[in-house]
Amino acid sequence: MEKYAHKNDRMQLQTIKDHLEETAQLAEQNAVDLFKPVAHAIGLAHDIGKYADAFQDRINGAAAKFEHSACGAIEIRKQMGSNPFAPMMEFCIACHHTGLQDGGSGALEGTLSHRISPMREDEFTDQWDYSAYQDEISLEIPDFTKIQQLFRDLKNRSDYIELYAFFTRYLFSCLVDADFLGTERFCRPEVKRGLRADFQAASERLEEVLSKKPSDSMLQAARSRIQKQAFENAKDSAKLHILNMPTGSGKTLCSLKLALDKVLADKSKERIIYVIPYTGIIEQTAKEFQDIFGDVVEILQHHSNYSFEEEEETQTTMQKLRLACENWDAPFIITTAVQFFESVYHYRTAPLRKMHHMANAVIVFDEIHTLPVECLQPCLRAIGSITAYLHSEAFFLSATMPDYTKLFEKYAPECSISHLIKDTSEFRYFKKAQYIMLGQCSFDTLVQKASGFRQSLIIVNTKKSARELYQMASGNKYHLSALMTPVDREQTIIQIKADIQKGKQITVVSTSLMEAGIDLDFEAVFRELNGLDSILQAGGRCNREGKRDSGEVFIFEKEDEMISKEIRINTAKKLLASHQEITSKECIEQYYNEIFFFREHQIEKNSIDQGKTEFSEIPFRTFAKNFKLIKDNAVGVVINQEEACNRLLERLNTGDRTVLRSLQRYTVSLKCSQWENCEFNTALGKGLLEDCGAGVFVLNNMHYYSRETGLDLTLDDDIIL
């Protein structure tokens, strides 16, 4: 009798043999050459459990319970025995539905060892007998010799465990994406995938834009020379490229040309991935790129604020964009650092589907200095492994570049590094502002001092301070914080730009949203004391185009502020007192050296190793759940004051969950924790939130939201509207 893997809506049946062979082929195609035999083997083995009568009964509608995914792993263990690479295949096969589980050495429930333990095998009934696979499928045990050679030069156990875990997640990605796509082809053949890009045409359009950039002033000429230096130095064979350029020197377009040049020079490169820390920067960068490319490159934006509901998009294009977000099968991707790194270290099948498409790529990490210190080890290890073993190249961008050399030597010794800007003499043209320490300063004094400039920006550390300062300011003023929806923030920035271009008097009060990636030029900037990187990034908004002889950046502390325990703030304060020029390379290096030194233990302990001695014990799921680039949990609250938002909510009420992503543009995130006084619990306690299901909450009293200042939970509850 034929044995079947799937039944589609048209009641057509796909044989297990056809499904296994197709999945094996697709998994092999997903993998780089070194891993193709292993990917093919796990593809063949992953669903042999479906040969059991218990699963065939399920295909025919019975409610039989049968764990088919463990069977292939059991067979691999039988055939490979104590081979150290057996667990690599076992994890991929046994967990391809549940997501990667922890290893383990006993029968602890929820672990790999429990899923494929001999005890469970003995429990099999005749209905669970899947041995019929042997009539159609010959399991392959690949030769791991070349892969094993990669482990020979590793210095310690942690390096062994980390690299083994990376390879396992990578192969898991190759398998689960192949399994999904193979199943989709049979069950939903009408689905259209595939975005396109003409990189040659894109390069030509970028060259045209760059050629029109003015070079009349000394600053503009220096910008051109710095970029030319980067282009020349990028021709080396290094895998990691450091692009340390001052604010205003054109890092973004420079990096875009570098990425396009690499893709065009190396035909094995399949895509460009831009990894950016903030959604605000992503939106601006994506628009700038799309304006340059026009219709020659379809850009996939994968972040929470991007909507697939844009009217100008065709239905087919929207569908392709949605589907490409599942596995990053796209030639040009713009995403967040959270999305990128948590996809590498996740345990669930959906996020890990993207990982294999990080191979054969040019990856640009913008504002790389924003990586949390405690996450440096896993992040740098990931970049090192992706570039060393998956044939990708990476560019690191920052105006305040940390010296990651020692960390890369420790966590990614196989990677060569090149510095694209070797001659920094041109940097002097970009010192467009002087930094002045004000010391403790009352908000009254601050507002008064800021009003003395035609165009001033005040950046503070908290949303509460931003609202308070804004309310105290007078005249033409604007407020920006994460308590405003992305739609309202975008509109506010458009208005700010227009006023600046018209030369109007303006005061902008903001949280750190304005520190990086926002192309605005102020006469004076006031920055509350914070890390040196934050101070210098804020300074990049002052006299940005060098139109004035010099701008002024004032660093202040809140009056009567308690002494901070934050190492970034204390280190910056010390350096401000001891260095005349805080923008100097020496000052920035000292800052990061001290940060890394004081947090060395945090960096060192954040490893998936965790004292494990066997590859079969790697705690994939536990590590993934603890790996967070953003520590604060948050709950989104929809602000329904737009007709477009209301239409999305109406669709949600009918069960259409595809609108969840589009609703992000009308959403404010509230911190959520176990403490009763967190933002979300406060709003819930006041009865301000309506639960619409699917994890969506809607603000039910618009008195608490203002387009100017966002959501304010502190307003007087007794006010009658």
> Can you tell me the distance from the alpha carbon of 27 to that of 43, in angstroms, rounded to the nearest whole number?
6
| Residues recorded for the chain | 721
Tell me phi and psi for residue 67, to 5 degrees: -90, 85
Instruction: Please give the share of the chain, as a percent, with pLDDT higher than 70.
Output: 93
pLDDT at 319: 65
Average of per-residue pLDDT across 213-238: 88
Q: How confident is the model at residue 629 (pLDDT cuts 50, 70, 90)?
A: confident
Type of residue at 153: D
Q: Which of 24-33, 207-216, 294-303 has the highest mean pLDDT?
A: 24-33
SS3 content of the chain, % helix, strand, coil (to 5): 50, 15, 35
Closest CA to 638 of 690, 701, 698, 587: 698
pLDDT at 574 over 50: yes
> Can you tell me the distance from the alpha carbon of 616 to that of 614, in angstroms, rounded to the nearest whole number?
5
> Can you tell me the distance from the alpha carbon of 541 to that of 583, in angstroms, rounded to the nearest whole number?
14
Dump strand ranges (E) for 467-505. Answer: 477-480
> Can you tell me the distance from the alpha carbon of 92 to that of 70, in angstroms, rounded to the nearest whole number?
10
What is the pLDDT of the chain when averaged over all its residues?
Answer: 87
Distance of CA 358 to the CA centre of its chain: 12
pLDDT at 106: 64
DSSP class per residue in 233-290: HTTS--SEEEEE--TTS-HHHHHHHHHHHHHHH-TT--EEEEEES-HHHHHHHHHHHH
> Can you tell me the distance from the alpha carbon of 685 to that of 673, in angstroms, rounded to the nearest whole number?
14
Largest CA distance in the chain: 87
pLDDT at 678 over 90: no
pLDDT at 633 over 80: no
Average of per-residue pLDDT across 12-18: 90
Q: What CATH number does the domain located at 199-426 have? A: 3.40.50.300
Tell me phi and psi for residue 332, to 5 degrees: -140, 115
Give the gyration radius of the chain's Cα atoms.
Answer: 27
Average of per-residue pLDDT across 151-172: 92
Average of per-residue pLDDT across 646-654: 90
Place of tokens 């790697």: 618
Instruction: Please give the share of the chain, as a percent, with pLDDT higher than 90.
Output: 52
Average of per-residue pLDDT across 223-229: 93
Whole-angstrom CA distances from 14 to 7, 10, 50, 109, 260 are 7, 12, 12, 33, 42
pLDDT at 719: 45
Q: How confident is the model at residue 356 (pLDDT cuts 50, 70, 90)?
A: very high
> Can you tell me the distance from the alpha carbon of 286 to that of 551, in angstroms, rounded to the nearest whole number?
29
Average of per-residue pLDDT across 329-349: 92
Predicted model pTM: 0.88
pLDDT at 230 over 90: yes
DSSP label at residue 703: G
Q: Which two tokens stand for residue 60?
A: 């025919």
Q: How confident is the model at residue 119 (pLDDT cuts 50, 70, 90)?
A: very low
β-pair partners for 635? 670
pLDDT at 124: 55
Closest CA to 477 of 501, 450, 449, 438: 450
pLDDT at 677 over 80: no
**Residue 621: which residues within 8 A CB-CB, separation 6 or more?**
99, 100, 101, 102, 110, 347
Average of per-residue pLDDT across 228-256: 91
Average of per-residue pLDDT across 21-36: 96
DSSP class per residue in 585-628: HHHHHHHHHHHHHHTHHHHHH--S-TT--SGGG-BHHHHHHH--
pLDDT at 75: 93
302-336 per-position pLDDT tens digit: 755 444 444 334 445 556 666 767 788 899 999 98
pLDDT at 494: 92
Helices 157-187 & 315-327 angle (0-180, nearest 10): 150
Q: How confident is the model at residue 613 (pLDDT cuts 50, 70, 90)?
A: confident
Average of per-residue pLDDT across 111-124: 66
Average of per-residue pLDDT across 557-578: 85
Closest CA to 89 of 18, 37, 12: 37
Tell me phi and psi for residue 2, to 5 degrees: -70, 145
| More confident: 55 or 517 | 55
pLDDT at 117: 73
Closest CA to 427 of 548, 563, 584: 584
681-709 per-position pLDDT tens digit: 888 888 999 988 777 899 999 999 999 99
Q: How confident is the model at residue 120 (pLDDT cuts 50, 70, 90)?
A: low
Average of per-residue pLDDT across 151-160: 87
Q: How confident is the model at residue 720 (pLDDT cuts 50, 70, 90)?
A: very low
Query: Where are the chain's structural domains?
Result: 4-187, 199-426, 432-562, 634-711
Tell me whether the CATH fold assigned to 199-426 matches the one assigned to 432-562.
Answer: yes
Distance of CA 386 to the CA centre of its chain: 15
258-301 per-position pLDDT tens digit: 999 999 999 999 999 999 987 767 777 888 899 999 989 988 88
Domain 432-562 fold: Rossmann fold (3.40.50)
Neighbours of 31 (CB within 10 A): 25
pLDDT at 674: 64
CB 442 within 8 A of CB 248: no
Lowest mean pLDDT among 33-42, 97-106, 497-506, 588-597: 97-106
